[in-house]
Amino acid sequence: MTLNAALPELSSLEPLEFDEASQRLVARGDARLDFDGTRIRADRITYYQDYSLADANGNVVISRDGGRLLADRLSYDGQESIFSVDLLRTGQWPYYVTGVSAGGSSEDVTIDGATLYYGAPSRFGLSASSDNVHYKKEGTSEYVAMTGATFRVGSVPFFYLPSYRHYLEGSPYLLDLNAGSDSSLGYYLQTTSLLPVTSWLRAGANLDFYSQRGVLAGPTAQYTYSSTTQTIVGALSTGAIHDNGSESDRGVDTFGETIDAERGFAEWRHKHHIGERFTATASISYWSDSEVTRDFRDDIYNDNERPDSFAEAVYAGDNYLISAFGRFKTNDFQTVQERSPEVSFDLLPVPIFNTGAYHRASASYVQLNEDFGNYAPLLTVEGESDRFDLSYRIERPFALTDWLTFKPLAGARFTHYENQQIDPRVYSPAAALIDDNFSRQIYELGFDLEARAYASYPTVNKTWDIDGLRHLVRPVLRYRYYSDPDDLNEIATIDRQVFDLQRPLLDLSDLRNVDEISETHLVRLGVENLFQTRAKGYGSRTLAALNFYQDILFEKDLRYDGDEEDTFNATWVELVLSPAPWLKFDLASRFKTESMSLEELRTRTTLTSGEAWELGLSTDLLNHQIDQYRLDFIYRINERYAFLSDVNFDADTGEFTKVKLGLRTRIGSTWELVYAITFREDAQRESDVEFQLQLRLTGDE
């Protein structure tokens, strides 16, 4: 039976009782009261029409905007939009709240005898309790403020704060504990914690204990702020330790210098967007020595074995970029090409009136410095120069047919050096001949010839989820010639060619080895293939990409191994396969064309069987240098347990360089525990056998 009124709507399984004198309605048996998008259900609901008051008793459930609150009793004032409840339970992942009583409005609630759980309440769950908790919603921000907060794991208290404020929309807690045994470090316990401090900041500490080395400690922080005008994201991780190990335990750094007992590190990453135009980026890495993170925090070392420190600010105009980029030497164990800073203006390709041609340009100024003191103490003169660099390029595409495009191009790069100096013993005695000032001009000529074709096939395959197949093919021919810059010995060479086995850049204005650009004359042939199918929602999905490239050199230089380059220099083959969510394959290879010998091969294969297991195989081959393989495997035994393995094999030595076996288990819905043992062969600093026990909160970011 239902009684309709303007507001609210009251219904129940049993007939409604109405007292005309008091204007009271009583509903029993799955009673429901609906108003303003809110539904109240209870065993019994009493509603007073004249006062818009409602009382609900027994198994009370309040539902609104996808959220639910459970209580034993409810009183609601519809005119003032305030309520009071007894014995409440509510929450939304990953937070749950219980309380003895509560009262207030939907955006301002006071809870007595409250407990805030991270994750579902469980035997080993993390919680914070207080006699008085205040929930407040201000705009898009939600927080709970506690007076006298006691933190517990299960029922065991471990920390207390006189007052505590937790922002619900911010990142949750992070707690990572790693314990184990290592012959070099002894027994150890590594901990990282982050607790929400404000809606945009969570802070904590790295705190480690090593029985043979001492205590490492340092603050940590993560911050995320977003508004209608700007976005800021960043993180900080630090640690310092007085290393009690002997000199032989500490070893030497990359320059062969004995590592000091006072050791530490600091890692800071920062990204700032203001509107749609301005972006600032910073990445700072300070290490006391080259091995500090390898010894004490190998997760940092594995992600970044050669730390770098830089900062950049970029303003994006309608068709140009203005930027300032600085690179700094923060570590004594490295030789760094410092830029302090490089100020650049880049004009993006823009049309030249109605000619069909496009041009682009860039101009930059940078003060370069390179200190060789740590690398070679006998060198008394640093590498220095003030460099002005200007490049210009013009190109004119011609559509020869619907499927063929020809684009001739021409460019120039003018570079002027001032205040040059460099020690002649760095490269050759000829470096002593460099002048204080020097200017250089390089000219570029070339063209791009591109063809395009496609074919469609009515292919259907349910196993691979293929609904039609489209093959796009693009043959390309790119020709480039850079004039001979001459007099390279008159430049203090700081921006040099680095060891890089990727396909070389072709455009003169894109080259970063500004100080040693050499004469170049080549043709690059390529065939690019793309295979796509219809996506379920909209558009297309890429199944595979297969690309072939061949460089033909008319002007040869030296290879990375010191041999002279061949005319048919290198063949690159690149393959990406992702035909289904459970299979991914990536391949990048390079052949020495004239002998068809494989010089480089990098592959990654990933197979996934739903939630049951995941298998990954990686290869890394560089002829006469590296021949390594890696196999990682996860097998989920059931919802709680999973088997982990990570195996590295070196084919040159015929040895397994690293074998890691582990068992991962979940404790309730809050914790993840990993037991692991690692075996290593001929490791330079790590232990041959290491035991680990890692405990971390699940769902942290």
CATH number, residue 7: 2.60.450.10
- In a domain? residue 373: no
- In a domain? residue 99: yes
DSSP string, 206-274: EEEEETTTEEEEEEEEEEEEE-SSEEEEEEEEEEEEE--S-HHHH-B-TTSPBPPSEEEEEEEEEEEEE
H or E, element range at 294? helix 292-296
Average pLDDT over residues 688-694: 91
- In a domain? residue 103: yes
| Predicted confidence (pLDDT) at residue 553 exceeds the cutoff of 50 | yes
Position 462 confidence tier, pLDDT thresholds 50, 70, 90: confident
Residue 2: the pLDDT is 36
* Mean pLDDT for all residues in the chain: 87
Position 26 confidence tier, pLDDT thresholds 50, 70, 90: confident
Structure tokens at 135: 């929930």
Average pLDDT over residues 557-568: 74
Average pLDDT over residues 125-140: 85
Percent of the chain surpassing pLDDT 70: 94
Please write the tens of the pLDDT for every residue from 233-273. 999 999 999 999 999 889 888 888 899 999 999 999 999 99
C-alpha 137/C-alpha 399 separation (Å) is 60
Residue 562: the pLDDT is 66
Position 4 confidence tier, pLDDT thresholds 50, 70, 90: very low
- In a domain? residue 259: no
DSSP string, 120-189: S--TT-EEEEEEEEEEEEETTEEEEEEEEEEEEETTEEEEEEEEEEEETTS---EEEEEEEEETTTEEEE
Residue 700: the pLDDT is 47
Task: Using the structure block, give the residue that is written with the tokens 């480089």.
Answer: 600
- In a domain? residue 94: yes
- In a domain? residue 364: no
How many C-beta neighbours within 10 Å does residue 69 have? 21
Check if the beta carbon of residue 482 is closer than 8 Å to that of residue 520. Answer: yes
| Full residue range of the structural domain in which residue 81 is found | 2-167
Position 382 confidence tier, pLDDT thresholds 50, 70, 90: confident
Please write the tens of the pLDDT for every residue from 195-211. 877 778 889 999 999 99
| Preceding peptide of 15 cis, ω within 30° | no
C-alpha 371/C-alpha 365 separation (Å) is 20
* Residue 15 to residues 5, 10, 25, 48, Cα–Cα distance (Å): 16, 11, 11, 17
- In a domain? residue 52: yes
557, 562, 567, 568: CA torsion to nearest 10: -130
Q: Which of 386-395, 404-413, 631-640 has the lowest mean pLDDT?
A: 631-640
- In a domain? residue 275: no
Check if the beta carbon of residue 115 is closer than 8 Å to that of residue 99. Answer: yes
Question: Long-range CB contacts (< 8 A, 24+ apart) of 11-16?
Answer: 12/45
- Residue 383: phi, psi to the nearest 5? -80, 125
Structural domain total, the chain? 1
Structure tokens at 582: 């459970």
Task: Compute the chain's Rg from CA coordinates.
Answer: 33
Structure tokens at 265: 């590190």
Highest averaged pLDDT of the listed ranges 108-112, 163-167, 199-203, 644-648: 644-648
- How many CA atoms lie within 13 Å of 72's alpha carbon, on the beta-carbon side? 7
C-alpha 338/C-alpha 371 separation (Å) is 9
